[in-house]
Amino acid sequence: MIDRRNALKLALGSAAGLAAPRVWAQSAKPRTRIVFLGTKGGPRVGVGPSNPANLVMVNDTPFVIDCGMGVSHQLVSAGVPLESIKYILISHHHSDHNLEYGNLVYNAWATGLSTPIHSFGPKGLEAMTRTYWELNKFDIETRIEDEGRPDLRKLLIAKDITEDGVVLQTPDVKVTAFRTPHPPITDNFAYKFETPDGVIVFSSDTAYNPKLAEFAKGADVLVHEALYLPWVDRLVTRVKNGATLKKHLLESHTAAEDVGRIADAAQVKVLVMSHLVPGELDVTDDDWRNEARKTFKGRIIVARDLMELKLPL
Ligand SMILES: [Zn+2]
Ligand SMILES: [Zn+2]
């Protein structure tokens, strides 16, 4: 006797057999994940870790946070088709966070972008976008004419953020901006992602700011920049402007021990340290963790390039 399921199989023929594994694969895939694309703080390009950039993937929709040099390459390495990018968020206009902003969108166009990308960032992003079109006018217009591509300038919708609050809401995700000081920069935003699988907060570059703990209160994941103080102290003895440099670093960034304080006050489930200074691997994961462990007893992850964190935790 043929039961209902077998009858269906017979009726659908081999197509049903082919479709089944794909359905299984989709349901097994996590809906939300974070990929740490570039984990080294600062603008210097090296052979080691890539410059700052992160990815949040929710139901196959990519949100790119910061566009340090190398972000396009890192996205490709993470298996994300560039033309699938829908949202870009820039935290502040230091070059290690925006240098590849225009080029990422351009690279997405080169791989067949046909749907809009919405970008958000502090004041200056809209102007930067217009200027990028000027810079690349010749090539863009040549390819539209010569290759029949859509007009890239109409596919990127940039929006300056001027105040705290909700910047973006999709059926799945709400993104909220929160200003945090990064002297001398004040137009600098941390971002909170509320997803179906948990809350993720990115600190941006920031001075030690206890208010960030309120913003990140109860988050599942806090991705916070971190400075390794013993390295700063070694650096100070090596360079002429050591004292000034140390002062600058401490005024505009957060030492790992203080990062732990923020995570502890916010009671986050997981603390991820990224935008590491120094980013090179001579400071080990244990070195980083030991600093933050002094003040935070929860789970600590030291982000490395292309590492993935799946949600729910
Ligand atoms: Zn930075
Ligand atoms: Zn910065």
Distance of CA 165 from the midpoint of ligand 2 (Å): 21
pTM, 2 dp: 0.90
**Is 267 in the same domain as 300?**
yes
**Predicted pLDDT of residue 30:** 60
Distance of CA 98 from the midpoint of ligand 2 (Å): 10
Distance of CA 17 from the midpoint of ligand 1 (Å): 50
**Is 95 in the same domain as 44?**
yes
243 against 159, higher pLDDT: 159
Within 8 A by CB and 6+ apart from 298, the residues are 263, 264, 267, 268, 269, 270, 271
**Is 98 in the same domain as 14?**
no
Ligand that comes closest to the CA of residue 69: 1
**Is 74 in the same domain as 138?**
yes
Distance of CA 165 from the midpoint of ligand 1 (Å): 22
pLDDT in tens, 186-196: 999 999 999 99
pLDDT in tens, 57-104: 999 999 999 999 999 999 999 999 999 999 999 999 999 999 999 999
The sign of the dihedral angle between the CA atoms of 304, 307, 308, 309 is negative
User: Distance between CA 151 and CA 140 in Å, rounded?
Assistant: 8
Q: What is the CATH number of the domain that holds 224?
A: 3.60.15.10
**Is 135 in the same domain as 245?**
yes
Distance of CA 182 from the midpoint of ligand 1 (Å): 10
Spatial contact of 56 and 32, defined as CB atoms under 8 Å apart: yes
**Is 266 in the same domain as 288?**
yes
Spatial contact of 179 and 186, defined as CB atoms under 8 Å apart: yes
b/e 242-278 (16+ beta carbons within 10 angstroms → b): eeeebeebbebbbbbbbbbbbbbbbebbbbbbbbbbb
**Is 13 in the same domain as 75?**
no
Distance of CA 274 from the midpoint of ligand 1 (Å): 10
**Predicted pLDDT of residue 29:** 56
pLDDT in tens, 207-261: 999 999 999 999 999 999 999 999 999 988 998 988 888 898 999 999 999 999 9
**Is 115 in the same domain as 3?**
no
Number of domains in the chain: 2
DSSP 39: -
Average pLDDT, the chain: 91
**Is 16 in the same domain as 136?**
no
Q: Examine the pLDDT at 5 and tell me if it is beyond 70.
A: no
Q: Examine the pLDDT at 265 and tell me if it is beyond 70.
A: yes
**Predicted pLDDT of residue 281:** 77
Distance of CA 202 from the midpoint of ligand 2 (Å): 13
Phi, psi of 198 (to 5 degrees): 145, 170
**Is 162 in the same domain as 48?**
yes
**Is 217 in the same domain as 156?**
yes
Distance of CA 178 from the midpoint of ligand 2 (Å): 15
**Is 116 in the same domain as 82?**
yes
**Predicted pLDDT of residue 280:** 83
Ligand that comes closest to the CA of residue 277: 1
Q: Which domain holds residue 19?
A: 1-29
Q: Examine the pLDDT at 12 and tell me if it is beyond 90.
A: no
The sign of the dihedral angle between the CA atoms of 196, 197, 199, 202 is negative
**Averaged pLDDT, 283-287:** 96
DSSP 182: B
Distance of CA 223 from the midpoint of ligand 1 (Å): 13
Distance of CA 94 from the midpoint of ligand 2 (Å): 5
Q: Pull the structure tokens for residue 300.
A: 């600590």
